[in-house]
């Protein structure tokens, strides 16, 4: 393939290499017309170098270009050899203090929350680490590409603008110095010449649009060679492009993917090369194929010369960028060249030309020139300003181009706005000199053209295209935000003027929003189509912050504020003109007050939620108070023009609308309205919507008679009749049988009362109440935390987006909350401090209804716990600012008293009236507020003031004639004892108490001191406390009783599935009772315990009774009864692997008899331990299978388990399983003969066995199968399960089709047993023996019994081969040498296959003897293995005087080994070292062997062994029937061992190893761990940003993903790195799991900060990363950007999941819990 491609590239002209740069430069230095010379040179050579064939050859092109094209330019520029010239320039340069590093995609960036002027100011990692900010509160994000490091920009940082690296010489260059002074005059002239020519050439050729001509250049190549160029767009998908290309240019899918990837990355790629006709043809096919639904893909047929020159043009721009890096002087010259006006006047500079053709350029070209702009214009402070002006002047055009363009913003020149507008001095300059604010707003208005008759925005016919454009338009709002980010510290008249002009434009914009999307209540039928509402709300949402910023600016200057206020008011009046036209005014009368208003019903007429002008005015009004302008210059304000009823009208309508929606009156208007109401209150909008409507009401009401306001409000709520007419309510509810209407009215009354509470109570904005910003934020936090303890991120989300959100919050959080650290799961939480609960207001206006009821419940519970009464009285409030002071009078107004009295009356008379408890609760709250108010007034009373707030007096007065209703106070006293108001009793009591306190205060204010009354209250409260205490105790007792009762009925009601825990408990109880029998057996009590051999400790048989989780019948585990099985999961595993690159060649031919000691792939079996009858399981499994097949046919969805592969979920715990293991009694008992006389020694035994084997070979032909069948003691059902599990192990372990006859089945079963024990042995250091481990016990016993259901001769054959590896015979040649055998696997295989020989043995040797000899033999082989491979470094220390017996013995053995190997073994003289190594090396083997024999024979382990201590070795030896001095084994059996050792050592492989020609595993094998992760997450981000896709040549990977097992970085979720696996395309991660983890993988997705678990191709889940921020939270998706640090405990937990083989199980649980995970295409990750 590669060779073919080479051939297609024509050989280049050798003459090219002879071109001398030096000579050419000399010629250029002489010439008069440099441009002509250069152009001629380029015209001739460029087409000879670039674009010589169908595929680009960038390396060759670059090489030649440097030699022939750029070389002369460099010579010319330097006037000498550039190898000397450039370093000179660099030396003479005074480097700028700007870092200016341009960010790569995915590179980490840092911002300081304390010092950054705005959040767009960022540092690169290097600068950050060298800055003071790393000690501050910083934020970390990954760059989306573009943008550069702001280090050194003094305007970007309040403090520490320089890092250590860029700090040098700061003192010298404070003053602006012209960098040109460092260059010679000649140099300046030459640079100017060559820059002007090359820059112009590049710009001309890149912006060239003709297809057959060149700008100012001759077409030297006239050949008919064209390219068919395919361009990128954002409309067509990858798949569409790939498919089309395959059709159009006849390429393979691979090539098409290559083309598509390049097009996506660079913006264009030639897909065909040849004559014009040939290219045209491809073009037409592409266009035809892609034009069906959308606009077609852009394709252009271009002459090869043009493409060549364009390629070189790009190269030149990059070159210029690197040249100016040598010198700031050169940079300035380039800037000058770029911004110099061309011959065509305005907008004709090269920079203008590039910017204005931005949208016509392809992505690659844009990126190159943007980068050049960033490294030139933006790095030179003088030219940055000039460039900013050019940018601002072209702003409208650039935005228009961007709207038409379909590329992402990141590749548009419009995105450079952030670099310019966020610089405070530039922004200020652009506002005053270029009127930027107005420009932006007007440009914005240009693009929103759909208006209704009144000139308001209209989004009714909102198409997808419009939505797309609208999203683009929103970027203008972002620009406006940038401009406003930094607020001016000083105002010039110019700035005032231009800001106010911008404000005018802004008001025009808001005016178009005022009243948009009006709605009318739908009666009768439901609306047919949900009206469009999202566009309007998106606009509002995006503008929210800008509106707030506008107000912030206004607040800074009194003159601006006054002007803005006037302008805003004027616009509002315009909006309201015609507001009362044609309406008959009506008059309302109540309690002797009367007011005139208009006739208007929200439920009948049009109403709109969008009132930005009113709301802006409300905001400004508050500022008048906050800045005290209202008090200082009242004469300058148009206060007299304000008409309070007009001000409140629209906000009031909007609030009434909300109330009516809540009361269910607008149900027929559909969900769109519900959504709008939701956002109106939501934290994203409320600041400039709901909050400001409340402020507007407060503003209006503060200027009105409260009685008038209340009457108007009643009228708007359509409740006027009810309260103005005595007894109307009574009549209303009796006459009106329609319960809905009654309910509706009740809700409306509740809502109205709530609104009054808010108007009077919400005074925590500076300017309304006498508070500061800190008080406001504190109150928000207190109320959020009143609901429940919250994590940092939750709190942040609950606060509006402004500077308060985080830094503001953090400044107060310590005062109001305590932080609680997270555990292994979950996150850190803030908990409200107890003393803050007294500030809790049940009717806090930002609570949603759900939050309010949760908070109420939580607070009442808390008070109960603290033994307080459960009243939640209103908190004491800060006083109003003077401008709003009159608001408190609402509470004591006549109409208010009437409303409260009426409702209390309803409650007193209780029956027959429509009233609700919430209504009463709100009235009580209002009463409480009024009392608090009066109390505060009295307490703050100074000499000259008279208390005008006389609420207590008013509520003591009975109603007037004629109805003579009782006083409010009297009614309260009645209600206090009403049985139906139990819940409110505490509150009523609180009100009465407070009333009395105030009365006393009033009396005492003249005479007695206040203390007395307080004493009384104290006394009273302590008495209350006693009572409360008694009550509380009774309550607790009652609750406990109730709980128990509930539990009991629960237990009876539910089936196990719904009550798993309980059921599990019972199971465990059963279990303990069963093992209890065993523990009490006297045999085991004192004697020495031995696990195997003739001396094996006899264990008393105990009945094992288990319960089936499916039918719940109990059954004993017996040989001849029905089988009981455990749900189990078998998987291939590489967890223990010491060689991850190894793969099994061909599963069909692979022989697993010997396990290699690198343990590269094993079979693991796990179980959740839940037991079933075999037949119950079978029935269950069949049902699942049938159900799943139906479901898959119907829904075509995946499940978390793969039924076709035999997978199912444990019916009890939903643990993923793929087979079952039968439960068996200890199998040895069945075959062991209890005759111990005259047992042979090892040598004798081996001889006997060898003879036996020989005999067997002779008997082969005879059918012994029948015999073994006779011998088989197991019931049919158990035999069936033995086969089932065996086959499953074989199938999964080898990845082959099931075949129960295959002779490898028993090997796989033994292997799984050995491997699983090894994994346990690795995890548990102190061997925890427990018969309760059902899984391992069953697994071992199963493996021991499996031979009874497989071919006897096959098993016998296996045994012979296995034994031959240690005891060679002539039949079995070519076996692995002892270095290449895992001895534990060998032991297990030998021991478990031995009964197959033994069952036909009549020599009278016991099975136990065989076990013991096999064990000893393997142990000795292992010792030799360890000694051969031990890499002991003899370091001379610890050469203790006397050597122990063990050390002497092991030294002797080692010396013998040296002899056998012909002295190839390293000489070691220290017995101490050898013994130490041996002991350490053999421990894991001994531990695993102990476990194995323990599970096999059921001999309990001595309790001392469970403690890992110095004696563990001795205990293990004793338990395993080994001498403590292991080498004694050799001495005892020296007759046979010497021969064996000699034969082992004479093996060729062993020799090669000793000669250093091959490698071998040494012992003890260390257990595998996941890779080490850095503490600071940004290290990983940095590592990932430097990682490029291994397949697409240096391209950055989009989803770099780290394998946590081996540390490989992968390019995930991308076409470039897809490979084929078993006939399917899979992503890099899935492919990697197959080599690294045999299908299971643990990854860290670095950009997402997310752990990924994969198992097989279809299963996966995300798991929380082990990185936490300071608030104890993870940041999945890296959205918050707090610094993240490794949490070692959480990482250990992940590691443990991996080591315990629980990854697949974890995925299963995650997928069961979250069905959406099932739908993800895991295989493509």
Which parts of this chain interact with Zn ion (CB under 5 A)?
99, 101, 112, 114-115, 124, 127, 133, 136, 149, 151, 163, 165-166, 1108, 1110-1111, 1168, 1170, 1173, 1176, 1210, 1212-1213, 1215, 1589, 1591, 1603, 1605-1606, 1608, 1611, 1614, 1616-1617, 1636
Q: Around Cβ 276, how many Cβ atoms within 10 Å?
A: 15
Residue 1581 has phi, psi (to 5 degrees) of -60, -40
| DSSP SS3 for 1541 | helix
Nearest CB to Zn ion, comparing residues 1405 and 1603 = 1603
Residue 1650 parent element (H or E): strand 1650-1655
The minimum distance between CB 295 and Zn ion, in angstroms, equals 30
The minimum distance between CB 1108 and Zn ion, in angstroms, equals 3
Nearest CB to Zn ion, comparing residues 201 and 1063 = 1063
Cis bond before residue 1618 (omega within 30° of 0): no
Residue 923's nearest CA partner among 937, 904, 910 is 904
Residue 319's nearest CA partner among 65, 528, 117 is 65
The minimum distance between CB 159 and Zn ion, in angstroms, equals 6
Nearest CB to Zn ion, comparing residues 226 and 1129 = 1129
Residue 123 is given by DSSP the state: B
The minimum distance between CB 1589 and Zn ion, in angstroms, equals 3
The minimum distance between CB 1571 and Zn ion, in angstroms, equals 9
Region of 795 (left: φ > 0; alpha: ψ -120 to 50; beta: rest) is: alpha
Q: Which two tokens stand for residue 1537?
A: 């061992």
The minimum distance between CB 364 and Zn ion, in angstroms, equals 18
The minimum distance between CB 93 and Zn ion, in angstroms, equals 17
Q: Is 1117 exposed, middle or buried (0-12, 13-18, 19+ CB in 10 A)?
A: buried
Cα gap 1451→1473, rounded to integer Å: 10
Nearest CB to Zn ion, comparing residues 994 and 1633 = 1633
Answer for the pair 1063, 1056: CB distance below 8 angstroms, yes or no: yes
Q: Which two tokens stand for residue 1478?
A: 């041996």
Cα gap 838→1043, rounded to integer Å: 31
Residue 433's nearest CA partner among 462, 474, 468, 391 is 391
Answer for the pair 1488, 1382: CB distance below 8 angstroms, yes or no: no
Nearest CB to Zn ion, comparing residues 137 and 298 = 137
Nearest CB to Zn ion, comparing residues 1253 and 1616 = 1616
Sign of CA dihedral 744, 745, 748, 750: negative
Residue 1671 has phi, psi (to 5 degrees) of -95, 10
The minimum distance between CB 1703 and Zn ion, in angstroms, equals 13
The minimum distance between CB 1712 and Zn ion, in angstroms, equals 13
Cα gap 554→564, rounded to integer Å: 7
Nearest CB to Zn ion, comparing residues 137 and 447 = 137
The minimum distance between CB 96 and Zn ion, in angstroms, equals 11
Nearest CB to Zn ion, comparing residues 1534 and 1586 = 1586
The minimum distance between CB 257 and Zn ion, in angstroms, equals 11
Cα gap 1117→1498, rounded to integer Å: 15
Nearest CB to Zn ion, comparing residues 133 and 763 = 133
The minimum distance between CB 1627 and Zn ion, in angstroms, equals 9
Q: Which two tokens stand for residue 1692?
A: 């250990």
Contacts for 1627-1634: CB closer than 8 Å, 24+ residues apart = 1627/1723, 1627/1724, 1627/1725, 1628/1601, 1628/1725, 1629/1601, 1629/1603, 1629/1654, 1629/1725, 1630/1654, 1630/1657, 1630/1722, 1630/1723, 1630/1724, 1630/1725, 1632/1603, 1632/1608
The minimum distance between CB 140 and Zn ion, in angstroms, equals 13
CA angle 425, 426, 432 (to 5 degrees): 90
Nearest CB to Zn ion, comparing residues 113 and 854 = 113
Nearest CB to Zn ion, comparing residues 712 and 1212 = 1212
Q: What is the CA radius of gyration of the chain?
A: 43
CA angle 477, 483, 484 (to 5 degrees): 90
Nearest CB to Zn ion, comparing residues 1462 and 1593 = 1593
Q: How far is CA 1614 from the centre of its chain?
A: 19
Nearest CB to Zn ion, comparing residues 932 and 1618 = 1618
Cis bond before residue 1306 (omega within 30° of 0): no
Cα gap 1142→1635, rounded to integer Å: 8
Nearest CB to Zn ion, comparing residues 935 and 1709 = 1709
Q: Which two tokens stand for residue 681?
A: 């209150």
Say what angle helices 34-49 and 185-206 make with each other, to 10 degrees: 50
The minimum distance between CB 1198 and Zn ion, in angstroms, equals 22
Nearest CB to Zn ion, comparing residues 929 and 1617 = 1617
The minimum distance between CB 1638 and Zn ion, in angstroms, equals 11
The minimum distance between CB 778 and Zn ion, in angstroms, equals 25
Nearest CB to Zn ion, comparing residues 136 and 989 = 136
Q: Which two tokens stand for residue 1448?
A: 């002497």
Residue 1147's nearest CA partner among 1306, 1293, 1358, 1287 is 1293
Cα gap 458→1068, rounded to integer Å: 68
Nearest CB to Zn ion, comparing residues 1167 and 1232 = 1167
The minimum distance between CB 1115 and Zn ion, in angstroms, equals 8
Residue 158's nearest CA partner among 547, 489, 627, 430 is 489
Nearest CB to Zn ion, comparing residues 207 and 1618 = 1618
Three-state secondary structure along 1303-1367?
CHHHHHHHHHHHHHHHHHHHHCCCCCCCCCCHHHHHHHHHHHHHHHHCCHHHHHHHHHHHHHHHC
The minimum distance between CB 1611 and Zn ion, in angstroms, equals 3
């Amino acid at each position: 393939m590669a060779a073919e491609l080479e051939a297609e590239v024509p050989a280049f002209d050798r003459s090219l290499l002879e071109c001398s740069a030096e000579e050419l430069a000399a010629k250029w230095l002489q010439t008069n017309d440099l441009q002509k010379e250069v152009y001629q040179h380029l015209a001739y050579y460029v087409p000879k170098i670039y674009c010589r064939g169908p595929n680009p050859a960038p390396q060759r092109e670059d090489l030649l270009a440097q030699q022939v094209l750029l070389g002369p330019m460099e010579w010319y520029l330097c006037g000498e050899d550039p190898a000397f010239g450039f370093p000179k320039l660099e030396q003479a340069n005074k480097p700028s203090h700007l870092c200016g590093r341009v960010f790569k995609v995915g590179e980490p960036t840092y911002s300081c929350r304390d010092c950054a002027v705005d959040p767009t100011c960022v540092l690169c990692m290097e600068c950050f680490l060298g800055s003071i900010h790393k000690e501050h509160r910083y934020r970390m994000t990954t760059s989306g590409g573009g943008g550069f490091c702001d280090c050194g920009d003094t305007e970007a940082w309040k403090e520490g603008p320089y890092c250590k690296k860029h700090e040098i010489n700061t003192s010298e260059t404070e003053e602006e110095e012209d960098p040109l002074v460092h260059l010679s005059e000649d140099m300046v002239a030459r640079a100017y010449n060559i820059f002007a020519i090359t820059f112009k050439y590049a710009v001309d050729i890149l912006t060239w649009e003709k297809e057959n001509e060149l700008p100012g250049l001759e077409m030297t190549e006239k050949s008919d060679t064209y390219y068919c160029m395919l361009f990128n767009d954002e409309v067509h998908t990858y798949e569409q492009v790939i498919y089309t290309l395959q059709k159009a240019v006849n390429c393979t899918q691979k090539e098409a993917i290559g083309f598509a990837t390049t097009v996506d990355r660079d913006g264009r790629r030639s897909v065909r090369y040849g004559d014009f006709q040939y290219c045209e043809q491809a073009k037409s096919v592409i266009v035809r194929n892609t034009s069906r639904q959308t606009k077609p893909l852009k394709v252009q047929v271009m002459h090869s010369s043009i493409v060549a020159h364009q390629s070189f043009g790009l190269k030149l721009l990059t070159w210029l960028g690197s040249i100016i890096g040598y010198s700031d002087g050169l940079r300035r010259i380039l800037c000058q060249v770029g911004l110099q006006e061309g011959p065509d006047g305005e907008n004709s500079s090269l920079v203008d030309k590039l910017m204005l053709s931005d949208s016509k350029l392809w992505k690659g070209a844009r990126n190159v020139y943007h980068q050049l702009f960033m490294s030139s214009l933006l790095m030179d402070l003088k030219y940055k300003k000039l460039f900013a002006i050019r940018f601002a002047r072209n702003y409208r055009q650039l935005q228009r181009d961007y709207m038409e363009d379909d590329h992402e913003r990141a590749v548009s020149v419009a995105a450079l706005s952030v670099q310019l507008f966020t610089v405070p001095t530039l922004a200020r300059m652009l506002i005053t000199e270029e009127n930027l604010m107005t420009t932006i707003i007007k440009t914005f208005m240009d693009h929103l053209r759909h208006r209704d008759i009144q000139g308001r925005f209209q989004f009714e016919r909102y198409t997808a295209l419009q939505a797309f454009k609208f999203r683009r338009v929103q970027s203008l709002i972002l620009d406006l935000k940038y401009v406003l980010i930094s607020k001016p510290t000083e105002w010039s008249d110019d700035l005032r003027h231009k800001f106010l002009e911008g404000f005018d434009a802004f008001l025009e914009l808001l005016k178009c929003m005022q009243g948009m999307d009006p709605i009318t209540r739908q009666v009768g039928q439901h609306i047919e189509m949900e009206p469009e509402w999202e566009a309007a709300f998106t606009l509002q949402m995006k503008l929210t912050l800008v509106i707030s910023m506008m107000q912030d600016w206004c607040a800074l200057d009194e003159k601006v504020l006054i002007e803005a206020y006037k302008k805003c008011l004027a616009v509002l009046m315009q909006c309201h003109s015609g507001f009362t036209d044609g309406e008959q005014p009506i008059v309302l009368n109540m309690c002797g007050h009367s007011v005139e208003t208009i006739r208007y019903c929200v439920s009948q007429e049009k109403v709109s939620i969008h009132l930005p002008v009113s709301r802006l005015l409300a905001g400004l009004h508050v500022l008048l108070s906050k800045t005290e302008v209202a008090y200082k210059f009242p004469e300058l304000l148009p206060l007299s023009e304000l008409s309070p009823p007009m001000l409140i009208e629209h906000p009031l309508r909007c609030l009434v609308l909300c109330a009516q929606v809540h009361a269910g009156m607008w149900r027929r208007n559909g969900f769109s309205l519900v959504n709008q109401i939701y956002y109106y209150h939501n934290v994203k909008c409320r600041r400039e919507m709901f909050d400001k409507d409340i402020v507007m009401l407060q503003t209006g009401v503060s200027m009105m008679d409260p009685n008038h306001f209340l009457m108007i409000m009643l009228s708007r709520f359509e409740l006027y009749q009810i309260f103005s007419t005595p007894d109307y309510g009574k009549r209303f509810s009796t006459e009106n049988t329609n319960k809905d209407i009654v309910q509706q009215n009740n809700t409306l009354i509740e809502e109205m009362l709530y609104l009054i509470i808010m108007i009077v109570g919400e005074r925590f904005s500076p300017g309304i109440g006498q508070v500061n910003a800190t008080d406001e934020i504190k109150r928000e936090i207190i109320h959020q935390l009143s609901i429940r303890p919250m994590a940092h991120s939750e709190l942040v989300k609950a606060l509006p987006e402004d500077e308060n959100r985080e830094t503001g919050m953090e400044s107060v959080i310590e005062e109001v909350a305590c932080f609680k650290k997270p555990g292994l799961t979950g996150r850190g939480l803030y908990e409200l401090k107890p003393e803050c609960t007294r500030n809790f207001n049940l009717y806090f206006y930002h609570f949603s209804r759900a939050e309010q009821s949760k908070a109420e419940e939580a607070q009442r519970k808390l008070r109960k716990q603290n033994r307080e009464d459960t009243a939640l009285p209103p908190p004491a409030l800060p006083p109003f600012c003077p401008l709003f002071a009159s608001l408190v009078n609402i509470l004591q107004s006549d109409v208010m008293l009437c409303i409260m009295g009426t409702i209390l009356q309803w409650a007193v008379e209780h029956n027959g009236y429509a009233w609700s408890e919430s209504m009463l609760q709100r009235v009580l709250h209002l009463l409480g507020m009024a009392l608090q108010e009066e109390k505060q007034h009295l307490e703050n009373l100074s000499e000259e003031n008279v208390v005008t707030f006389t609420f207590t007096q008013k509520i003591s007065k009975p109603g007037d004639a004629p109805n003579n209703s009782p006083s409010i106070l009297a009614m309260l006293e009645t209600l206090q004892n009403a049985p139906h108001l139990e819940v409110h009793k505490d509150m009523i009591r609180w009100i009465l108490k407070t009333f009395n306190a105030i009365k006393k205060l009033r009396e005492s204010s003249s005479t007695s001191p206040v203390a007395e009354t307080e004493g009384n209250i104290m006394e009273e409260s302590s008495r209350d406390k006693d009572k409360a205490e008694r009550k509380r105790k009774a309550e607790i007792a009652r609750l406990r009783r109730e709980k128990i009762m509930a539990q009991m009925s629960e237990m009876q009601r539910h089936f196990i599935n719904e009550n798993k825990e309980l059921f599990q408990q019972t199971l465990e109880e059963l279990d303990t009772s069963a093992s209890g029998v065993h523990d009490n057996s006297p045999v085991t009590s004192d004697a020495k315990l031995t696990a195997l051999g003739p001396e094996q400790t006899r264990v008393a048989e105990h009945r094992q009774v288990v319960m089936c989780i499916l039918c719940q019948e109990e059954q004993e585990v017996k040989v001849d009864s029905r089988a009981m099985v455990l749900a189990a999961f078998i998987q291939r595993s590489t967890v223990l692997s010491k060689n991850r690159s190894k793969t099994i060649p061909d599963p069909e031919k692979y022989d697993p008899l010997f396990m290699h000691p690198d343990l590269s792939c094993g079979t693991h079996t796990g179980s959740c331990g839940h037991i079933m009858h075999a037949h119950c399981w079978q029935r269950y499994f069949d049902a699942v299978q049938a159900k799943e097949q139906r479901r898959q046919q119907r829904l075509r969805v995946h499940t978390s388990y793969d039924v076709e592969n035999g997978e199912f979920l444990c019916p009890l715990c939903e643990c993923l399983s793929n087979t079952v293991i039968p439960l068996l009694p200890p199998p040895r008992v069945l075959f062991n003969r209890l005759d111990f006389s005259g047992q042979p020694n090892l040598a004798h035994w081996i001889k006997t066995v060898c003879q036996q084997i020989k005999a067997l070979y002779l008997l082969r032909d005879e059918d012994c199968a029948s015999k073994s069948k006779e011998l088989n003691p197991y019931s049919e059902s158990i035999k069936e399960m033995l086969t089932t599990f065996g086959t499953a192990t074989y199938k999964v372990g080898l990845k082959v089709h099931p075949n129960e006859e295959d002779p490898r089945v028993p090997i796989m079963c033994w292997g799984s047993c050995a491997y699983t024990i090894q994994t346990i042995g690795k995890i548990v250091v102190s061997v925890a023996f427990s018969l309760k481990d059902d899984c391992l016990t069953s697994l071992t016993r199963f493996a021991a019994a499996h031979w009874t259901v497989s071919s006897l001769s096959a098993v016998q054959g296996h045994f012979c081969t296995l034994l031959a590896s240690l005891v060679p015979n002539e039949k079995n040649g070519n076996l692995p040498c002892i270095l290449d055998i895992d001895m534990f696997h060998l032991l297990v295989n030998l021991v478990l296959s031995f009964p197959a020989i033994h069952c036909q043995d009549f020599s009278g040797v016991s099975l136990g003897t065989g076990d013991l000899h096999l064990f000893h033999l393997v142990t000795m082989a292992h010792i030799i293995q360890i000694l051969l491979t031990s890499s002991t470094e003899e370091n001379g220390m610890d050469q203790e005087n006397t050597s122990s017996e063990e050390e002497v013995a092991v030294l002797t053995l080692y010396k013998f080994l040296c002899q056998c190997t012909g002295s190839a073994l390293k000489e070691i003289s220290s017995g101490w070292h050898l013994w130490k190594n041996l002991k350490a090396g053999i421990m894991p083997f001994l531990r695993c062997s102990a476990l194995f024999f323990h599970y096999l024979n059921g001999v309990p382990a001595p309790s001392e062994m469970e403690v890992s201590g110095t004696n563990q070795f001795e205990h293990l030896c004793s338990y395993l029937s080994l001498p403590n001095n292991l080498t004694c084994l050799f001495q005892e059996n020296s007759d046979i061992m010497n021969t064996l050792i000699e034969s082992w050592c004479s093996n060729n492989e062993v020799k090669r190893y000793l000669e250093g020609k091959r490698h071998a595993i040494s012992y003890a094998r260390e257990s595998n761990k996941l890779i080490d992760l850095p503490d600071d997450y940004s290290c990983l981000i940095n590592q990932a940003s430097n990682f490029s896709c291994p397949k697409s040549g240096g391209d950055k990977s989009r989803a770099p993903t780290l394998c946590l097992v081996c540390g490989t970085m992968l390019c995930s979720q991308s076409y470039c790195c897809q490979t084929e696996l078993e006939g399917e395309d899979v992503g890099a991660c899935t492919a990697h799991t197959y080599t690294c983890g045999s299908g299971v993988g643990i990854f860290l997705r670095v950009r997402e900060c997310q752990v990924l678990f994969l198992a097989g191709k279809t299963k996966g889940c995300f798991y929380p990363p082990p990185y936490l921020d300071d608030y104890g939270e993870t940041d999945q998706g890296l959205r918050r950007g707090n610094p993240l640090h490794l949490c070692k405990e959480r990482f250990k937990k992940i590691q443990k999941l991996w080591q315990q083989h629980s990854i697949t199980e974890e995925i299963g649980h995650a997928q069961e819990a979250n069905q959406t995970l099932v739908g993800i295409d895991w295989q493509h990750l």
